Amino acid sequence: MLTVVIGLIISSATSAIIVFAQELMPHRFGMISGVFFGVAFGIGGLGAAVLGKLADHTGIAFVYQLCAFLPAIGLLAVFLPKMAKAVR
């Protein structure tokens, strides 16, 4: 059950990440969306293969324990650049 909740939280951040990237490059909306979705699905596919191979060698319990710490990577968002406020 906790895995489902974590997955929903992570997937809800995707749109915020894309909007942030589009603000950094305002005239390239399509390119930013395509790059982000392409990279996300590519890394997801590679990650699934790597985790499967790791599960074969160490066991599925270890992989579940490892994946429990993956959402902590989101703490790196502290280092994102601050956006300047729009002049009105």
Is 41 within the bounds of a domain? Answer: yes
73 contacts 10 by C-beta, under 8 angstroms? no
42 contacts 16 by C-beta, under 8 angstroms? no
Q: What confidence tens digit (pLDDT) does each residue in 44-68 have?
A: 899 999 999 999 999 999 999 998 8
| Number of compact structural domains in the chain | 1
Give the confidence band of 88 by pLDDT, cuts at 50, 70, 90: very low
Is 14 within the bounds of a domain? Answer: yes
Q: Which residue has the higher pLDDT, 55 or 24?
A: 55
Stretch among 20-29, 37-46, 75-84 having the lowest mean pLDDT: 75-84
Domain residues for the domain of 8 are 2-79
Residue 37 has pLDDT above 90, yes or no: no
Is 87 within the bounds of a domain? Answer: no
